Amino acid sequence: MNNDWKNYLLQNNASLDDNDLLVFNDPYVDSQYTSDDTLVCDLSCFSTLVIAGGDAVEFMQGQFTNDVEKVDDDHSQMSSFCNNKGRMIANFRLFRYQKNYFINLKNSLVNRSIEHLQNYVLRAEVAIQDVSDQLIHLGISGQDTVTLLSPFFDDLNTAVNGVSQNDNYIAIRIAGSTPRYEIFCSFEHARTLWESLADNTHVVNSTYWDYLNIQNGLPFIDNDTSETFVPQMANMELIDGISFEKGCYTGQEIVARTHFLGKQKRRAYRIRIISDTEPGVGDQLATTTSTENQYTGTLVTIYPVAENNYEALAVIQIKSAEENTLKLKDHEAEIILLDLPYQLTERE
């Protein structure tokens, strides 16, 4: 995290929690807000890597699950890269700015991702660098979002995954029925934007962005679930995170075989968990008929809505989800399936 930005927020009602994350509100306070409320949050829980050089596009095409050539100054995309077994090491948003490419992913995956990608650079003209200290990352959501951002952009792109950019700011429209944008900029411009927004929005904790991603079916894996899922298990093709027409990439054979030949056995579901014990990312789900060594699902993202009440995205065996007999593997909990904003069927 940029130290100037950290200190600025600490001087403006933020504090540090036990995990060294900036927080503004007590637990469960943010859950009172609805889609009618306009919210702003710091997103330093994500990191941004730049991938630059004359061979950057060709290099990324050989690693990423989506078609990099479709990313331009006006369009971003979800994507991922996999190990040789087709399991996602990281998933992320890819965007372009001033002819360089950037990926935005969970903090815990930075070192693992750089190490993996560097193994494939070889003699290519490609440089990979963590630029999170230079690019402040904010999230804005709510019905007034477009109005509040318009003074900073001549023509704000309102298409999902659309990018708006100028010399000072990058804004990316995130999926959802409520207008939602992620902003990238320097510290000075972040401070200007924050001061403009803070009086007209509700400031929420960064974890609330996880909650919005859960509601919109956008699963972001972290170090606890890295190399656990084939992309389709996390619904990546349903959120436009996979291209089945592009050329080969690491793990592509497994991903393509799952799509063209295999029957999908696991999907990411949105669930409610009612439990006296706090669940964690990577915790396993089972069914009432599972044996001691069996599990049928894994928690990917979790948000505490109220005391003993959580919403989550979990990759679950389809058959187990349909039978609706789910439980947490290691302690008592009630699991309730919730709706997603898209159908759990493969797109043609």
* Residue range 208-217, pLDDT digits in tens: 999 999 999 9
Tokens at 303, concatenated: 């948000």
pLDDT for 346: 54
* CATH value at residue 311: 2.40.30.110
67 and 123: one domain?
yes
53 and 115: one domain?
yes
204 and 274: one domain?
no
Rounded CA-CA distance 238/346 in Å is 7
Whether residue 156 is contained in a domain is answered as yes
Whether residue 346 is contained in a domain is answered as no
Kindly report whether the global pTM for this prediction surpasses the value 0.85: yes
Whether residue 162 is contained in a domain is answered as yes
271 and 198: one domain?
no
Query: For residue 319, what are the domain limits?
Result: 265-339
**247: exposed, middle or buried (C-beta count within 10 Å: 0-12, 13-18, 19+)?**
exposed
Q: Give the domain-ending residue among 211, 243, 264.
A: 264
15 and 164: one domain?
yes
3-state DSSP percent of the chain in helix, strand and coil, to 5: 25, 30, 45
Q: Which of 78-87, 98-107, 281-290, 309-318 is predicted least confidently?
A: 281-290
Whether residue 348 has pLDDT greater than 70: no
Whether residue 171 is contained in a domain is answered as yes
Q: pLDDT per residue over 108-144, tens digit each?
A: 999 999 999 999 999 899 999 999 999 999 999 999 9
CA dihedral 234, 240, 244, 248 (to 10 degrees): -80
Task: Read off the pLDDT of each residue in 16-36 and give the average, rounded to a whole number.
Answer: 91
Tokens at 293, concatenated: 């060594």
16 and 152: one domain?
yes
pLDDT for 347: 43
Whether residue 182 is contained in a domain is answered as yes
Q: How many domains does the chain have?
A: 2
- For residue 73, give Cα distances in angstroms to 50, 101, 172, 281, 288: 15, 10, 11, 34, 50
23 and 83: one domain?
yes
237 and 271: one domain?
no
Q: Give the domain-ending residue among 249, 264, 279.
A: 264
Whether residue 289 is contained in a domain is answered as yes
